[in-house]
């Protein structure tokens, strides 16, 4: 997923410091080896207990603050024995049946009750800002469940980072084992102890963000089984880097670098202050014929022209800069990564600037460009550069699915029915107009391809099941028989890919252009202490034939590559090819 240059630079920079047990040597981090072991052991345990231990008491704890609180307690542990005692004191009020042990000490499984019990059932994972996903502590007598699945469900995990193992049930008899005042006192201690850390973004705060984020992806990322990463090593890297980060900008980059490894084109990590994002210059970049060019100019008051080649960005060769910045951006395919990076390097804080060196014919020009357009206006201006719909002289119609709405489509139906062909532009995000497909299908759409994972067991996707849904489109009484061509590229992800999945499966038209970005599934989100937030894919999507979609995308029936000379003249090679195909129908 990353370019060769990044791999080479990363390897050279870290060759002298990397060893088999730690990402950095003791001298390069503010954490001692023992402190790091304590933190990593706690981080691993935390995710299992938070999301899978069934406890009424645990429902009232602010688990994010609990991480910061716990970090302060475990720093001083000198060995695994002390760490076990400290972990026990941290968890015994809220998860009393967790047992911490050293090594492989045998213990009898005591979780064989036939009584009514409670357990965690995650539909995806519900977070502090998610919509459409649920996490519920449910009773075994309240829902239909194969009881055999939850027989003898005491789970034992041996830490990757220390000699400690821990044992916990994923079902338990519902009861309040501690007095309310004890829990209230514990919560008050957590809140008072962490207030300053959250306010000042201390080292503990930053490490906590690594731990919380890592556990969300480790246990709930819908494509986690497809990730070829060392989970333990990525956690270690993130913790060490955040322990050393000197300011909020370094912290942002560290978190983005960790999350880039999750190969998810929905991922965004940002601050609520939005101090390094949200504004763009009046230009767009695009790669055509292996050259980075100016592909759009939104204002006439800057001395750039469409077709100018970009040679340098901030005094660095543009390709090197793209490769360097791509390590902070998550994407499922190299092509989508490249497109996302070309956009992200333009984005920054309000009134910030960058320098570029342009080549126009044989002349070189150095310019300083300012970011003054907010992201919403930037997107709207780019969208408006293409028509909503258009009729070509040969009775071929063009509709821009990124702009056109259902009312406008309905008004065009008489013309579309009589047309020689229709070109549907899906090189962006559909404008909530999937009903257009109802004019093309002839049978009820029965495909179910969007999967919400029912997660009960950690580390066991074979026992967890999926609730599958689809769009369930019904044919419109009016049917378009005219041939239809859909234009797309590697910038198309999510809703665009859902759209094209149905086109491909039901053979509703030809798809031309590039393979899409290979990222689909309704998004989820997480709010970190009301200071930072991130988005990620929450649902698992397959192709409608049941095969893998993630990281693969929708392949076009006919591939089209832009030609630079045509682009500079204002010709669209995608539309040229589509018209050619329709005229020879």
Q: What is the CATH number of domain 279-381?
A: 2.30.42.10
Q: How many CB atoms lie within 10 A of CB 85?
A: 12
The three-point CA angle 77-79-83 to 5° equals: 55
Residue 520 CA to residue 538 CA, distance in Å, equals 9
Q: How far apart are CA 499 and CA 501, in angstroms?
A: 5
pLDDT recorded at residue 15: 34
User: 3-state DSSP call for residue 20?
Assistant: coil
- List CB contacts of 273: < 8 A, sequence separation 6 or more: none
Question: Each residue of 20-59: b (16+ CB within 10 Å) or e?
Answer: eebbbeeeebebeebbbbbbbbbbbbbbbbbbbbbbbbbe
CB 154 within 8 A of CB 552: no
Tokens linked to 393: 């002289």
Please report the pLDDT score of residue 23 as a whole number.
35
How far apart (Å, rounded) are the C-alpha atoms in residues 435 and 472? 11
Strands 523-528 and 532-537: antiparallel
Question: Which value, to the nearest 10 degrees, does the dihedral of the CA atoms of residues 203, 206, 212, 218 take?
Answer: -110
Asked if 279-381 and 386-533+549-583 have one fold, the answer is no
Residue 96 confidence (pLDDT): 87
322 contacts 341 by C-beta, under 8 angstroms: yes
- What pLDDT was estimated at residue 533? 96
Distance of CA 146 to the CA centre of its chain: 32
**Tokens 């292996």 label which residue?**
290
Query: How large is the greatest C-alpha to C-alpha distance in the chain, in angstroms?
Result: 82
Q: Which of 530, 545, 581, 540 is nearest to 560 (CA)?
A: 581
pLDDT at 139: 82
| Whole-number CA gyration radius for the chain | 27
Q: What is the structure's pLDDT at 235?
A: 97
> What pLDDT score does 229 carry?
94
Give phi and psi for 438, each to the nearest 5: -65, -25
Side by side, the strands of the sheet bearing 532-537 are: 268-271, 532-537, 523-528
Considering only CA atoms, which of 405, 437, 581 is closest in space to residue 502?
437
Instruction: Provide the pLDDT for residue 527.
Output: 97
What is the model's pLDDT at position 177?
A: 53
Give the bridge partners for 364, in sequence order.
Answer: 359
Q: How far apart are CA 525 and CA 538, in angstroms?
A: 8
CA 379, chain centre distance (Å): 20
pLDDT tens track, the chain, 585 positions? 433 333 333 333 333 333 333 333 334 458 999 999 999 999 999 999 999 999 888 888 999 999 999 999 999 999 999 999 999 999 988 888 899 998 777 665 555 555 678 889 999 999 999 888 999 988 876 655 555 666 667 888 999 999 999 999 888 876 555 567 888 899 999 999 999 999 999 999 999 999 999 999 999 999 999 999 999 999 999 999 999 999 999 999 999 999 999 999 999 999 998 677 899 999 999 999 999 999 999 998 899 999 999 999 999 999 999 999 999 999 999 999 999 999 999 999 999 999 999 999 999 999 999 999 999 999 999 999 999 999 998 999 999 999 999 999 999 999 999 999 999 999 999 999 999 999 999 999 999 999 999 998 888 666 778 889 999 999 999 999 999 999 999 999 999 999 999 999 999 999 999 999 999 999 999 999 999 999 999 999 999 999 999 999 999 999 999 999 999 999 999 999 999 999 988
**Token code pair at residue 92:** 């015994």
User: Tokens 């009775």 identify what position?
Assistant: 395
* Topology adopted by domain 386-533+549-583: 2-enoyl-CoA Hydratase; Chain A, domain 1 (3.90.226)
Sign of CA dihedral 10, 533, 449, 511: negative
Q: What is the pLDDT of residue 107?
A: 63
Beta strand extents in 152-290 (DSSP E only): 154-158, 164-169, 171-172, 268-271, 279-280, 283-288
Among 45, 48, 46, residue whose Cα is nearest residue 459: 48
Dihedral angle of Cα 376, 379, 384, 385, to the nearest 10 degrees: 150
Domain boundary assignment for the chain? 31-262, 279-381, 386-533+549-583
Distance CA 161, CA 167 (A): 16
Cα-based torsion angle of the residue sequence 225, 226, 232, 237 in order, rounded to the nearest 10 degrees: -150
CA 403 – CA 385 distance, rounded (Å): 11
Residues 389/404, Cβ–Cβ less than 8 Å: yes
């Amino acid at each position: 997923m990353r370019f060769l240059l990044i791999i080479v630079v990363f390897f050279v920079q870290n060759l002298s410091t990397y060893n088999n047990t730690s990402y950095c040597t003791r001298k390069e981090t503010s954490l001692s080896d023992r402190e790091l072991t304590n933190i990593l052991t706690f981080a691993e345990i935390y995710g299992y207990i938070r999301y899978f231990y069934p406890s009424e008491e645990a429902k009232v704890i602010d688990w994010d603050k609990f991480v910061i609180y716990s970090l302060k307690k475990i720093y001083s542990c000198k060995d695994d024995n002390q760490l076990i005692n400290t972990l026990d004191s941290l968890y015994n009020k809220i998860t009393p049946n967790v047992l911490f042990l050293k090594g492989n000490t045998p213990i009898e499984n005591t979780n064989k009750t036939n009584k009514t019990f409670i357990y965690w059932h995650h539909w995806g994972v519900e977070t502090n800002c998610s919509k459409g996903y649920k996490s519920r502590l449910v009773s075994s007598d309240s829902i239909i469940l194969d009881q055999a699945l939850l027989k003898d469900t005491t789970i034992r995990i041996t830490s990757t980072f220390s000699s400690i193992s821990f044992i916990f049930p994923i079902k338990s008899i519902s009861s309040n084992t501690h007095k309310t005042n004890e829990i209230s006192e514990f919560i008050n201690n957590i809140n008072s102890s962490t207030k300053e850390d959250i306010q000042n973004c201390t080292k503990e705060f930053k490490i906590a963000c690594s731990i919380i984020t890592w556990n969300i992806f480790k246990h709930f990322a819908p494509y986690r089984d497809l990730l070829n990463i060392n989970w333990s090593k990525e956690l270690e890297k993130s913790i060490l880097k955040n322990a050393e980060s000197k300011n909020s900008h370094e912290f942002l980059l560290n978190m983005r670098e960790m999350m880039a490894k999750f190969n998810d084109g929905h991922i965004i990590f940002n601050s609520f202050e939005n101090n390094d994002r949200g504004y763009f210059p009046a230009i767009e970049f695009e790669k055509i014929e292996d050259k980075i060019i100016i592909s759009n100019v939104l204002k006439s008051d800057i001395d750039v022209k469409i077709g100018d080649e970009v040679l340098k960005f901030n005094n660095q060769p543009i390709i090197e800069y793209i490769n360097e910045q791509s390590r902070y951006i998550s994407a499922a395919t190299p092509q989508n990564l490249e497109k996302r990076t070309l956009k992200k390097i333009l984005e920054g804080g309000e009134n910030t600037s960058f320098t570029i060196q342009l080549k126009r014919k044989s002349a070189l020009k150095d310019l300083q460009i300012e970011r003054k357009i907010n992201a919403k206006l930037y997107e709207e201006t780019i969208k408006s550069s293409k028509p909503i719909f258009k009729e070509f002289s040969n009775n071929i119609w063009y509709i821009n699915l990124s702009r056109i709405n259902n009312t406008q489509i309905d008004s065009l139906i008489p013309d579309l029915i009589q047309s020689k062909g229709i070109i549907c532009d899906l090189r962006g995000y559909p404008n909530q107009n999937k009903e257009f497909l109802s004019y093309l299908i002839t049978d009820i759409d029965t495909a179910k391809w969007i999967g919400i994972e029912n997660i009960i067991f950690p580390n066991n996707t074979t026992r967890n099941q999926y609730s599958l849904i689809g769009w369930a489109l019904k044919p419109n009484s009016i049917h378009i028989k005219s041939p239809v061509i859909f234009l797309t590229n590697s910038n198309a992800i999510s809703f665009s890919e859902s759209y094209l999945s149905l086109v491909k499966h039901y053979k509703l038209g030809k798809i031309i252009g590039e393979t899409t970005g290979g990222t689909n599934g309704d998004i989820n989100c997480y709010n970190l202490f009301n200071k930072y937030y991130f988005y990620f894919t929450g649902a698992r999507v397959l192709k409608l034939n049941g095969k893998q979609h993630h990281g693969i995308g929708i392949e076009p029936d006919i591939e089209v590559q832009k030609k630079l000379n045509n682009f500079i003249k204002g010709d669209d090679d995608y539309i040229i090819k589509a018209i050619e195909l329709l005229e020879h129908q």
